[in-house]
Amino acid sequence: MAPHAPDTRAVHAGRDDLTALGAHVPPIDLSTTYPMPSVEAGGASYDKMGTGNPPDPGDTLVYQRLWNPTVARFEQAVAELEGLPGAVAFATGMAALTAVLVATVADNKPHVVAIRPLYGGSDHLLATGLLGTKVSWVRPDEVADAVAPDTGLVVVETPANPTLQLVDLERLVADAGDVPVLVDNTFATPVLQQPARHGARIVLHSATKFLGGHGDLMGGVVAADDEWLHKIRPVRALTGALLYPLAGYQFHRGLQTLPVRVRAQQQTARALAAWLVEHPEIQRVYYPGLPGQDPEGLIGRQMAGPGSIVAFEPRGGGDVAEALVTRLRLITHAVS
């Protein structure tokens, strides 16, 4: 049977167990603790999940910090959309990145090669070295020379926040060699880009943005190959950064409309970018769909479209920009 179209997958992903449950809508499991048939069974389940393995059918889940069925459905849905075997969801996007960095430091690979621009929170976390990482900031064409024996990750965001710079992932993966590439796919979403198709082993989302989509949910999720899933799950279990199950249910529900929302937002962004380019008081517009802003032809080859984020600089600099945002009436002056 031919694979389902992306819009169909978005509706049905993460729902494989519903028929057996006799349910049409995924149930919400808010239990913080689970009965143990015996001390031995409870200990075996704890050890299994605490070391990065999913529970087997019939296992006690022991404690919500280790595993939650509602969150697991959301994780599987994201993994299906990204084309990876699994995912791990967290309370925030920064908690998700933290788990990956902790895992690579634990592997005695503390060196991270990171491409700027990068989301400010991610940039700050790497720059501080708080988690024991050491970072080399590079341009995309400098990655191969920056990789060292103790390099554990190459980190990139494409489209980048806030300049919407695009990076050729296939070339980046080739330059990284054996070093895993982590792609922050928040701005593109799996609707427009699946980094794993181009060789990335780890895909990160601040789910707070597009996956949630309505400004009332906070979370993060990392989709990854089996090796990295096994590394990341114990970090979440031991540090306690699990996504709250009710938020997991809402994120999962939101994925059903993600393709429709992203395409509608992209259509608006195209029109806005075209209008801003012609405005006499606008000095520069950042949008990959504009002429000259995708020099490597990645739209259509790597991304299905230019996305729905637009950035611009008014003439007159920061003071004019601040005056502009304070006069907005329809658009909220806020982050995220």
Q: Which residues pair with 312 in a beta bridge?
A: 285
Domain spans of the chain, in order of start: 6-255, 269-326
Closest CA to 87 of 169, 196, 197: 196
Q: Are 116 and 144 in contact (CB under 8 A)?
A: no
Find out whether 221 and 209 touch, Cβ atoms under 8 Å: no
Q: Please identify every residue annotated as catalytic.
A: 65, 119, 184, 209
**What's the angle, vertex CA 219, arms to CA 132 and CA 15, rounded to 5?**
125
| 6-255: CATH topology | Aspartate Aminotransferase; domain 2 (3.40.640)
Per-residue pLDDT of the chain (336 residues; tens, 9 = 90+): 457 899 999 999 999 999 999 999 999 999 999 999 999 999 999 999 999 999 999 999 999 999 999 999 999 999 999 999 999 999 999 999 999 999 999 999 999 999 999 999 999 999 999 999 999 999 999 999 999 999 999 999 999 999 999 999 999 999 999 999 999 999 999 999 999 999 999 999 999 999 999 999 999 999 999 999 999 999 999 999 999 999 999 999 999 999 999 999 999 999 999 999 999 999 999 999 999 999 999 999 999 999 999 999 999 999 999 999 999 999 999 998
CA geometry: angle at 301 spanning 297 and 306, to 5°?
70
For residue 215, the 8-state DSSP code is S
Which CATH homologous superfamily contains domain 269-326? Aspartate Aminotransferase, domain 1 (3.90.1150.10)
